[in-house]
Every structure is written in structure tokens, then in C-alpha cells.
Amino acid sequence: MANSIMASSKPLIFLSSSSTQPNRIINLPKLAKLPQIPKPISSSSSLSTKALSFSSATVKSLALIAALAPPSMAEAMEKAQLFDFNLTLPIIVVEFLFLMFALDKVYYSPLGNFMDKRDSEIKEKLASVKDTSTEVKALDEQAAAVMRAARAEIAAALNKMKKETQVEVEEQLAEGRKKVEAELQEALASLEKQKEETIKALDSQIAALSEDIVKKVLPS
Amino acid sequence: MNVLSCSINTLIKEGLYEISGVEVGQHFYWQIGGFQVHAQVLITSWVVIAILLGSAALAVRNPQTIPTGGQNFFEFVLEFIRDVSQTQIGEEYGPWVPFIGTLFLFIFVSNWSGALLPWKIIQLPQGELAAPTNDINTTVALALLTSVAYFYAGLSKKGLGYFSKYIQPTPILLPINILEDFTKPLSLSFRLFGNILADELVVVVLVSLVPLVVPIPVMFLGLFTSGIQALIFATLAAAYIGESMEGHH
């Protein structure tokens, strides 16, 4: 590629433009002879000496190329320029500035603002979630307090129940004891009575018996 | 010169020139008010601008809280651009996001359009449609804009005190510091121009030599380099802006 770029340098263009129609016709007979002069091998061996000196042969061959080259290529080479600054540059500047402002209106600003807003919203939500942790703690404490109160209530009720039942049981016990004692007393009293009765009975019998004994023992 | 002439001679005789269709430095000219413009560059740049604006408008038309598809992609791109700008410019990167982002997107889409879009289908009377960035006018335009941007950044931030940076380490470095203002746009523009042009030329030459399979790896390499070049241009522009804005005291 560098070849064609270099080939587009001024001398070539000058030659190509200077070689008019009649010159070409005159050159054509030479065409048969010329290929023998610039043979690739011989020329490459003597390139170092010939390259800078621009011998007449090279000039001729250049002219030949210019003449031989298809007109489209010659035209193209005349205009072939890599570093061709022109009005394209300021137009591209304007286009770029337009693109920058348009993209800012369409893309950067709206989407950027939207993303920032979303970011701050998410951060706010996160912060609020962190804040509720105290609320959760308070609720937890409340729940614990309720549990404690309930437990205390239950314990109190249980104690009350226990006391009540104990009193009842004691009452019943006392009642039962009283009954038993009364029965015992009664039984003891009846026993006493019977004892006295039997003693009385025995007393009367003793008198009769002792009389009998006396009668039997004492000879009368 | 002899060898050269012979090789061109054989090329012409065998008609290879016509087959390969390698055209370098040939432009399709339009005349606008006595000035010439490279029409192929303008046409492709319009297509690139249309692609960018169209796709962005379509994807960001109705942003959703939970992004999907196109919006997701464009959010990713915007975050990437913001990241690049923030890394290079620093905390005050906000106002520069449009500039850096447009540089990156325009160069990236231009480069890839040269490799991916079938421009060759459209025949021009002369020259051929290719990436807008393989024309020196485009790259120099972008590089000059970068220069203007970093001068503007420095002057608006520090006023005339900005020029004190030219003698900053020692006044001896004044010539080098002044030279830097010329080398910056020069290197920016020539790097991009050379890379894209060389990439397209390598592909074209390889296609002309071996039309099958062989050029494919080079094409992928070209896509890779194109992306890297866009990123390098945008990053360097951001770095220059950041450099002119940062305090020297």
C-alpha cells in the first residue's frame, strides 16, 4: 500500500499530466524495447546506487507506467491523499458537538438522573430498614414484658388456687377429724356406760355370790 | 524505484489492482461553497450518529426501576463511562461525562461500523465507505476538541493561574511543557487514525490474497483493537482534562 501512496507523490503526477496524447503514441514503439532495460533482477542488484540517482531509465519507466496505467487509476492517484485536510474537519467538529448535546439530552442526563434517583431511593429504603431495628427491639421488649406479665398472672392464679384448695382441704380435714372425734367420744361414752352397767351388774352379783360363798364356807 | 515500478507494472498487467480494490487516500469529494469535503466520511458519520441517537432514545425512552434489555445495557455503558471519567478526572467529573462518553461512543461505534457494517454494498463513484475514524479529518477534529476541552477545564477551574503549570517544576521545562500541548492532539489523532486505517488495510489485503478463513482472526483482532482504541482515546482525553484541573500547589 505504501507503494501506491508513494507513487502518488508529485513527480509522478507531473509526468502523467505532462504526457499528452501525441507523446503516448510516440512512446508506444519504445514499449517493445523497454522491458529489457528495467529487468527486476538487474535493477534490484544495482538498486542502492540507482535508487537515489534517478537515472534516465527510471524516469522513462515512470513515464511508461504513467502512460500504461488505466486512466481511472491515474485519476485516482492524482487525488490520492492520506493527509488531506479540508472542510470535513470543521463539519465533524460540529457533528460531534451536536451528537454530544443530543446524547446528553436523550441519554446521559435522563438516564443518569434516573439512576441517581433510584440509588438514593434504595439508600433511603435501606436506612429506613435500619431504623426499624429499634422499633423491632421495642416490640420485642413489649412482647417479653407481656410474656412476663402473663407468667406472673398465671403464677399468682396458681398460688391462689393452691391456697384455696389447701384451705378447703384443711377445712374438710378438720371437719372429718371433728366427726371422728365426736364418734370416738360417743363410742367411749357408750363404752363407759356399758362398763358402769356391767360393774353395777357385777356389784349386785358380787353381793349374791359373796353371800353364797359365805353360806358355803361358813357352817351354819 | 525500479522494483517498485516493476511490481506496479505486474500488478496492473495481471489486473490485481482491480480485483483487490484496495483504495487508500482516495476520497469521494463533494463541493460545499467552494470547499471540498470527504463525502464518504460525512455519510458514515451520519449513519453512526443516527445509530447512537436512535438506539439511545429507544432504550431510555421509558426507564423502569428494574432495568431490562436495552435499558440495562445503556445503564451499564453509562456506568462504565462514569467510572472512566471519575477515575481520570476525580470528584468533579460530572460535567465532563457527556464529552468523554460521546468521544468513547462515537469512536467505538465508528470503528465497529467499519468492521461490521457492509459498507461495500454501496458503491461510490470514487473512494469507498469505511469507518469515519480512518480519515485524518475526523481524528484531528476529535483531538482538537480534546485540546480545547482541557484548556477550557483548566482555565475555568483556575483562571489565568492555569498557565503557571507551564513553569511548574522549573522554568527550564517551559519549552517541553509547551511542546506537550502540540504532541497531545498529534499523538491522539495519529494513534487512532493509524490503528483504524492499518486494521482495515490488513483485512482488505488479506481478503484480496486469501478470501476464505484466513482473514477471520485478523478481523476479530481488528474488532478488539477498535474497542481498545476507543477506550484509549476517551481515557486519555479524560486524563488530560483531569491533569489540567488538578491542583499544582
pLDDT beyond 70 at B166: yes
CA-CA-CA-CA dihedral for A91, A96, A98, A99, to nearest 10: 140
pLDDT at residue A28, rounded to an integer: 40
Which of A50, A83, A116 terminates a domain? The answer is: A83
- Cα–Cα dist A171/A161, whole Å: 15
Say whether residue B43 is in contact with chain A using an 8 A CB cutoff: no
Give the structural domain span for A3: 1-30
| Residue-wise pLDDT tens digits, B81-130 | 999 999 988 888 888 999 999 999 999 999 998 888 777 777 777 777 78
Say whether residue B167 is in contact with chain A using an 8 A CB cutoff: no
pLDDT at residue B6, rounded to an integer: 47
What is the DSSP secondary-structure string of B43-81?
HHHHHHHHHHHHHHHHHHSS--SS--HHHHHHHHHHHHH
Helix (H, G, I), strand (E, B) or coil at B26: coil
Contacting residues of A for B60, CB less than 8 Å apart: 106-107, 110-111
Say whether residue A6 is in contact with chain B using an 8 A CB cutoff: yes
pLDDT at residue B22, rounded to an integer: 56
Nearest chain A residue to B132, by CA: A92
Least Cα distance to B139 among B87, B191, B85 occurs for B191
A5 part of a folded domain: yes
Say whether residue B141 is in contact with chain A using an 8 A CB cutoff: yes
User: Is-contact B197 B128, C-beta < 8 A?
Assistant: no
A26 part of a folded domain: yes
A200 part of a folded domain: no
**B7–A3 C-beta distance less than 8 A:** yes
* A26 and A55 co-located in one domain: no
pTM of the model: 0.63
pLDDT at residue A69, rounded to an integer: 46
**What total of structural domains would you count in chain A?**
2
**A115–B75 C-beta distance less than 8 A:** yes
A96 part of a folded domain: no
User: Is-contact A34 A61, C-beta < 8 A?
Assistant: yes
**B144–A54 C-beta distance less than 8 A:** no
pLDDT beyond 50 at A54: no
Minimum mean pLDDT among A35-44, B11-20, B43-52, B240-249: which range? A35-44
A180 part of a folded domain: no
The one-character DSSP state at B132 is G
What type of residue is B184? Answer: K
- Cα–Cα dist B50/A196, whole Å: 140
User: Is-contact B219 B193, C-beta < 8 A?
Assistant: no
pLDDT at residue A161, rounded to an integer: 94
Question: A93 is written with which cell numbers?
Answer: 467538529
**A88–B126 C-beta distance less than 8 A:** no
Nearest chain B residue to A100, by CA: B102
| Residue-wise pLDDT tens digits, A60-111 | 544 444 444 444 544 544 455 777 788 888 888 999 999 999 988 888 888 8
pLDDT at residue A79, rounded to an integer: 53
